[in-house]
Structures are given as structure tokens and as C-alpha cells.
């Protein structure tokens, strides 16, 4: 996470959430849909509209990860009091799968957002550690003896090539 050096004055002040009347916020009152089935039905009805499909495909095409989009959808529904956060978490995989279905049927190459960006890459800390160890090893090596060793091996190589089937120079 990048930390900003400038103060953020738009952030809520501590205790701001307690300044409104209890139940005044949508997420503080009973949610509209209480079960997973109801929530899925609600999302399916919305996600199968042409308007949503076109917009979703555009957003996926822009490179927004499916996981982020699905999470935003369920989070905004929680904030609107459509369902609670527990139902939202359970519904999340269905939303993701549905968005991927939309992407596949539109032939869009989308980012699922499930793969870790550092997957398959070597850790930089590990590289630095190995480099440091190698540097130390190099410092410990006596270069004069190393050169002699190299010379010896070169001589051995020359002797080795002088076999029966070797070409004459």
C-alpha cells in the first residue's frame, strides 16, 4: 500500500459514524434480502439486462479485474441495505462467475484478479540474499590460487583432447 505524505482531510473523523441516529443508515436497518437465494435472484435479474451486460463488458475490456468488480457490486448493495455483508460474501463467487460468463460470451479477454501479481516471480529479497552470499564468497576466495586452478584445468583439457580419434592440429 502506498502511503500518502499529504494529510487527507476528506477522511471521516473518529466517531463520525455515531453522529447519525441509529438505524438511519441503510446498512443499519434490516436488509431487503436475507437469504442467498433471494440475493442471487436479485443479482441475476439485474445482470441479465442488456444495459448491465454492455457496461460490464466495457469495464472488463478496460482491464478492471473481475474480482474487484464483483466485490464493488456486492459492497455497494450492502451499503444500500439490499443484503448484509455475510450474504454478500457468499454471493461473491456467483457474481464473479457471472461476470466471467459475460466476458466469455462477448469474447473479451479479461483479468480475473485471482492470480497473485508476484506469482512465478522470484522474490527480490531472495535475490538480494543470494547476491549478498555470493559477494561474500567472492571476497573469501584467494584469487592467486583460483588462477592456478584455472590454469591446471586448461592443461587437463588440452591433454584430454589428444585422444586417439582427435584431430591433429
Binding site for other proteins (CB under 8 A): 35-37, 40, 67, 87, 89-94, 96-98, 100-101, 104-105, 114
User: How far apart, in Å, are the Cα atoms of 31 and each of 75, 82, 83, 121?
Assistant: 13, 5, 5, 44
46/135 with CB nearer other proteins: 46
Nearest distance from residue 20's CB to other proteins, in Å? 31
81/94 with CB nearer other proteins: 94
**Cβ distance 92 to 74 under 8 Å?**
yes
2/119 with CB nearer other proteins: 119
Q: Which three cell numbers stand for residue 133?
A: 552470499
Nearest distance from residue 123's CB to other proteins, in Å? 22
Nearest distance from residue 14's CB to other proteins, in Å? 31
Nearest distance from residue 32's CB to other proteins, in Å? 17
Residues 6+ apart with CB under 8 A from 91: 36, 39, 40, 43, 74, 83
Cα–Cα distance between 69 and 88 in angstroms, integer?
A: 13
28/34 with CB nearer other proteins: 34
Nearest distance from residue 45's CB to other proteins, in Å? 14
112/132 with CB nearer other proteins: 112
Residues 6+ apart with CB under 8 A from 116: none
Amino acid at each position: 500500500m502506498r502511503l500518502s505524505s499529504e494529510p487527507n482531510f476528506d477522511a471521516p473523523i473518529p466517531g463520525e459514524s455515531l453522529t447519525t441516529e441509529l438505524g438511519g443508515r441503510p446498512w443499519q436497518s434490516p436488509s431487503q434480502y436475507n437469504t442467498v437465494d433471494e440475493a442471487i435472484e436479485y443479482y441475476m435479474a439485474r445482470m441479465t439486462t442488456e444495459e448491465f451486460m454492455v457496461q460490464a463488458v466495457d469495464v472488463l475490456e478496460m482491464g478492471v479485474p473481475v474480482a474487484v468488480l464483483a466485490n464493488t457490486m456486492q459492497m455497494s448493495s450492502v451499503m444500500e441495505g439490499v443484503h448484509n455483508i455475510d450474504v454478500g460474501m457468499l454471493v461473491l463467487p456467483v457474481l464473479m462467475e457471472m461476470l466471467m460468463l459475460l466476458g466469455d460470451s462477448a469474447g473479451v479477454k479479461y483479468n480475473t484478479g485471482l492470480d497473485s501479481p508476484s506469482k512465478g516471480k522470484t522474490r527480490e529479497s531472495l535475490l538480494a540474499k543470494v547476491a549478498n552470499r555470493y559477494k561474500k564468497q567472492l571476497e573469501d576466495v584467494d584469487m592467486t590460487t583460483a588462477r592456478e586452478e584455472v590454469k591446471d584445468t586448461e592443461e587437463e583439457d588440452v591433454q584430454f583432447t589428444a585422444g586417439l580419434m582427435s584431430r591433429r592440429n
